Amino acid sequence: MFKVNDNYLKLPGSYLFSTIGKKVSAYSAAHPEAKIIRLGIGDVTQPLAPAIIEALHSAVDEMGKAETFHGYAPDLGYEFLRNAIAEQDYKARGCEISADEIFVSDGAKCDCGNIQEIFSLDNRIAVCDPVYPVYVDSNVMAGRTGTYDSGTETWSDVIYMPCTADNGFAPELPSKTPDLIYLCFPNNPTGAAIGKAQLQEWVDYANKVGAVILYDAAYEAYISEPDVPHSIYECEGARTCAIEFRSFSKNAGFTGVRLGFTVIPKELKAGDVSLHALWARRHGTKYNGAPYIVQKAGAAVYTEAGREQLKKQVAYYMNNARYIYEGLKEAGYTVSGGVNAPYIWLKAPNGMTSWEFFDYLLEKVNVVGTPGSGFGPSGETYFRLTAFGTYENTVEAVDRIKNMKL
Ligand code: MLT
């Protein structure tokens, strides 16, 4: 008789955004007249920029002619894209990353979830609390997290690094020594960012204790303050301790197109074993590459026209962020984030729990957000709103919240 991977049975509930989706669908079915505004999942709403559309059309045409047709993509991704990434995301910022250290994929979520496969099961992970659920859940599935305590909503073998108002939503170095440290800055869900000196401390720490930092930089395009690093490789020593994940979802609206990449420097080793070689082996075995037309669209992000158009798109969302931040502050809410990230993190009013506030907002004003407790115990009583809505919906949602009776 076959057996299932019973680590899956340990997962409490369904994936956060699936739970929210189901709740909203049920509400919508019961109240078909409600005009629901969704500021829950961080999904973009603006159409792809013209430079990207043009690149997609022309790549589709190439696929229709024998002489320009493309089959399987190269394992690590097409050079035209990896060279553009190496030049513009790294060299231009003074980071020493070469094109052959970049692995193109269909998105950062998959890479963040899959990367744990190349590490031993007895590695101890450390995560921020609250945290993007993929980091923890993918380790639960692998059997690396011990037992779940439903009272505290924590796993026995995970090191939690609370990110609270007291520490400015930036984690402190953990008291127990981890092997793998997940960091995401600018942060999802709190919208907090850390400066270069703070990130350097993490790099120094990881090199000292022999840990690897798994650095999720999916929101780097939203950084507006000069001291905030766009890449962990801006820090000295990061090449021997850090893997970085990047996404095209948030900077270029590829949530439905799918493209991302992971950087693994060749110096990053466990003894003699190169993590770059292990990930290359995995990538080659389990993945056939992002489609040619999508990689061509990705390359358009780095053209002059693409860069110009996307700067405007990011500014559009950050204008929403400002509107939410200022509107809610004016209404008396305690708010943070929204300066270097498209997420606003707010305290639920009147002592409500995160889910109580979720239900309250949905029922009273038909606005959907994400309950902070869904990201971890330190997220309890907090709530996340995304700036990725349309401007019109954002304004309407904020006005509804401001006029809502508490
Ligand atoms: C979020 O809402 O946290 C993100 O959109 C999820 C993701 O990027 O996978």
Q: Which atom of ligand 1 is nearest to the CA of 40?
A: 2
- Judge whether residue 278 has pLDDT over 90: yes
Please name the residue ranges forming H helices in 210-301.
249-252, 275-286, 292-300
Centre of ligand 1 from the C-alpha of residue 215, in Å: 15
Which of 251, 280, 304 delimits the end of a domain? 304
For position 100, what pLDDT does the model report? 98
Which of 273, 304, 335 delimits the end of a domain? 304
- Judge whether residue 406 has pLDDT over 90: no
Regarding whether 382 and 256 lie in a shared domain, the answer is no
- Judge whether residue 22 has pLDDT over 90: yes
For position 273, what pLDDT does the model report? 98
Angle (nearest 5°) at CA 103 between 99 and 104: 105
Tell whether 135 is covered by a domain. yes
For position 136, what pLDDT does the model report? 97
Work out the average pLDDT over 2-27.
94
Q: Ligand 1 pocket, 38 CB below 6 A?
A: no
Quote the domain boundaries for residue 162: 52-304
For position 188, what pLDDT does the model report? 98
State the residue for tokens 């002489």.
67
Tell whether 1 is covered by a domain. no
Q: Given ligand 1 and candidates 188, 247, 258, which is best to mutate, with the most ligand atoms within 8 Å of its CB?
A: 188
Work out the average pLDDT over 268-288.
96
Q: Ligand 1 pocket, 41 CB below 6 A?
A: yes
Please tell me the distance from the alpha carbon of residue 405 to that of residue 347, in angstroms, as a whole number: 16
Q: Atom 6 of ligand 1 has which residue's CA nearest to it?
A: 42
Regarding whether 277 and 161 lie in a shared domain, the answer is yes
Give the DSSP letter of residue 169: T
Read off the tokens for 133.
């659920």
Work out the average pLDDT over 382-392.
98
Read off the tokens for 1.
């008789």
Q: Ligand 1 pocket, 139 CB below 6 A?
A: no
Q: Which atom of ligand 1 is nearest to the CA of 41?
A: 2
Regarding whether 56 and 148 lie in a shared domain, the answer is yes
Cis-peptide into 186, omega within 30 deg:
yes
For position 92, what pLDDT does the model report? 98
Tell whether 95 is covered by a domain. yes
Helix axes 50-63, 292-300, angle to 10 degrees: 150
Work out the average pLDDT over 76-85.
98
pLDDT tens digit string along 280-307? 999 999 999 999 999 999 999 999 999 9
Q: Ligand 1 pocket, 187 CB below 6 A?
A: no
Regarding whether 230 and 359 lie in a shared domain, the answer is no
Residue 133: CB partners within 8 Å, gap ≥ 6? 15, 16, 374, 375
Q: Atom 4 of ligand 1 has which residue's CA nearest to it?
A: 42
Q: Ligand 1 pocket, 230 CB below 6 A?
A: no
Regarding whether 312 and 292 lie in a shared domain, the answer is no
- Judge whether residue 13 has pLDDT over 90: no
Work out the average pLDDT over 147-164.
96
For position 15, what pLDDT does the model report? 86
Q: Ligand 1 pocket, 231 CB below 6 A?
A: no
CATH number of the CATH domain containing 64? 3.40.640.10
Read off the tokens for 43.
């999904």
pLDDT tens digit string along 169-214? 999 999 999 999 999 999 999 999 999 999 999 999 999 999 999 9
Which of 285, 304, 323 delimits the end of a domain? 304
Tell whether 268 is covered by a domain. yes
Q: Ligand 1 pocket, 190 CB below 6 A?
A: no
pLDDT tens digit string along 54-68? 999 999 999 999 999
Give the DSSP letter of residue 10: G
| Average pLDDT taken over every residue of the chain | 97
In 3-state terms, the chain is what percent helix, strand and coil (to 5)? 45, 15, 40
Q: Ligand 1 pocket, 110 CB below 6 A?
A: no
Regarding whether 339 and 270 lie in a shared domain, the answer is no
pLDDT tens digit string along 85-137? 999 999 999 999 999 999 999 999 999 999 999 999 999 999 999 999 999 99
For position 14, what pLDDT does the model report? 83
Residue 270: CB partners within 8 Å, gap ≥ 6? none
Q: Given ligand 1 and candidates 24, 132, 254, 259, which is best to mutate, with the most ligand atoms within 8 Å of its CB?
A: 132
Tell whether 188 is covered by a domain. yes
- Judge whether residue 28 has pLDDT over 90: yes
Regarding whether 266 and 223 lie in a shared domain, the answer is yes
Regarding whether 216 and 134 lie in a shared domain, the answer is yes
Regarding whether 357 and 276 lie in a shared domain, the answer is no
Tell me the pLDDT band of 161, cut-offs 50, 70 and 90. very high
Regarding whether 382 and 270 lie in a shared domain, the answer is no
